[in-house]
Amino acid sequence: MNDNNLNPIEISPNIYFIGVFDPDIRTFDIIMKTANGSSYNAYLIKTKEGVIIVDTVKLEFQELFFKKIEKLCSYDEIKYVICHHLEPDHAGAIPQLMQKATNAKVLISPQATAMLKAITHKDNIDFETVWTNKSLKLGDKTIQFLTTPYLHWPETMSSYIQEDKLLFSGDVFGSHYCDKRLFDDVVGDFFYSFKYYYDHIMRPFKSYALNAIRLYEKFEIDIIATLHGPILRDNPKRYIDYYKKWSQNNYKLIANGKKTVSIFYLTSYKNTKDMAEAIYEGAESVEGIIANVYDLASIDESNMITILEESDGILIGTPTINADAPKPVWDLLSCMMLLEKKGKVAASFGSYGWSGEAIDMIIHRLKSLNFRIPPNESIKIKLIPTKEELHDCFDFAVEFCEIVNGKMVEMTMN
């Protein structure tokens, strides 16, 4: 299937889509399935004083991208190349574009400086850094830059064209959804992809998404030009509202201001389960804490992520089998890449037969994920817990929950 043709599509007066469709891609960034492909959106703005290129495409599609540019202008006319995001799916054609467009200056966020050098392997690239409150006026277009980091890399930014009420949102509001009809009001139903994309790309950076939305909401927006999937022009505010809703921690609305502590465990001979129950009792005894216990042998991954997201404190209990934690524990730890961990406290516990390495492995992983780890980072019990040891579990939970509640102690972070 070839969804690409050479005709640039005008999305607003003198603003053209010059991106490419990739209908055959089936996996994106290793973790995402792309059942009907994706697109790498890029744009060209024509003014009487020169041309601005907005982002580029994946390297393997650059010849098509250049042909589209050549249909609209000569390379000498290009005055600026705005790069909202330097991940290779958008930055692949930058090195060659800069060789062709010798009059052009690259505009990037300050955080993108080292990346630009790493992509081009040149020290003499003409570039300038831009951020919120900086703007560019060229001909009849005024572009206001917006600092929107971590959406989806540290260097990402957005921009807004005042005259067109057009937001270049970068990866934000994207979908891995390939449809050459291009606009949201004429493509097929891409909502599943819009949500899936949010869950995998934006969800780990919810607080940054809310910061970006605060910036976007200052503007009247008629059209959102994303870096992937449909361009959003049919009531674009609703897409902003979806992001806002998904990025707010809705559970907190029903937790009555209490902190949530989630206790996950896996058990072979009930010993780690007994520890989990004692830990639960200890947690529940602390004022201002709501505790819940989950058996990892019977929990669905999508529920896991939701629970983790809503938790202020996370305790993970595991037996040690063959010097390792069993797979359901690693499944829990691996899905943490999809959630925002900022401020969350975590620790581990477990019963063991020989040496209990799994508990330390969990702590190591939690540290590398940047959880806040209390000084008393784990509790291990050999085989069947005694009454006294269960009491130690209770005390361990109390101390953990006091820290979740804000007690000041020196925390370990990676």
Closest to ligand FEO by CB, 152 vs 365, is 152
In whole angstroms, the minimum distance from the beta carbon of 310 to ligand FEO comes to 26
CB 29, min distance to ligand FEO, A: 7
The Cα 340–Cα 338 span in angstroms is 7
What is the Cα–Cα distance from 215 to 205, expressed in whole angstroms? 16
Which residue matches tokens 């629970």? 307
**Cβ-based nearer residue to ligand FEO, 106 or 296:** 106
User: Taking Cα atoms as reference points, which of 348, 352, 359, 349 lies closest to residue 384?
Assistant: 352
With 0-12 / 13-18 / 19 or more C-beta atoms within 10 angstroms meaning exposed / middle / buried, residue 205 is buried
Please name the residue that has the structure tokens 């090195």.
Answer: 95
Cβ 176 to ligand FEO shortest distance, Å: 9
In whole angstroms, how close is the CB of 311 to ligand FEO at the nearest point? 27
What are residue 136's DSSP bridge partners? 143
Least separation in angstroms between residue 98's CB and ligand FEO is 20
Using CB atoms within 10 A of its CB, is residue 310 exposed (0-12), middle (13-18) or buried (19+)?
middle
Count of CB atoms situated within 10 Å of the CB of 399: 17
CB nearer to ligand FEO: pick between 171 and 274: 171
Task: Say whether 128 sits in a helix, a strand or coil.
Answer: strand
- Asked whether the CA dihedral 194, 62, 167, 110 is positive or negative, the reply is positive
Residue partners of 408: CB distance under 8 A and separation at least 6 = none
Minimum CB distance to ligand FEO smaller for 90 or for 259: 90
Contact 256, 373 (CB under 8 A): no
Nearer to ligand FEO, 89 or 164 (CB): 89
Nearer to ligand FEO, 141 or 152 (CB): 152
Residue 302: CB minimum distance to ligand FEO, A? 23
What's the chain's length in residues?
414
To ligand FEO, the closest distance from the beta carbon of 40 in angstroms equals 7
| Closest CB 234 distance from ligand FEO, rounded Å | 22
Nearer to ligand FEO, 22 or 184 (CB): 22
Burial letters for 39-57: b for 16+ Cβ neighbours within 10 Å, e otherwise?
bbbbbbbbbeebbbbbbbb
Q: How far is the CB of 390 from ligand FEO (least distance, A)?
A: 48
| Choice between 32 and 138, CB closer to ligand FEO | 32
Burial 183-197 (b: 16+ CB within 10 A, else e): bbeebeebeebbebb
Q: Provide the 10 A C-beta neighbour count for residue 77.
A: 17
* Nearest position to ligand FEO, beta carbon: 87
Site for ligand FEO, rule CB under 6 A: 85, 87, 89-90, 152-153, 171, 227-228
Q: Pairing state of beta strands 27-28 and 32-33? A: antiparallel
| Least distance from ligand FEO to the Cβ atom of residue 89, Å | 5
Beta carbon nearer to ligand FEO, 141 or 176: 176
Distance CA 242, CA 141 (A): 29
Q: Which is nearer to ligand FEO, 174 or 326 (CB)?
A: 174
- Residue 85 or 372 having the CB closest to ligand FEO: 85
CA pair distance 368, 372, nearest whole angstrom: 10
CB of 15 to ligand FEO, least distance (A): 20
DSSP class of residue 147? E
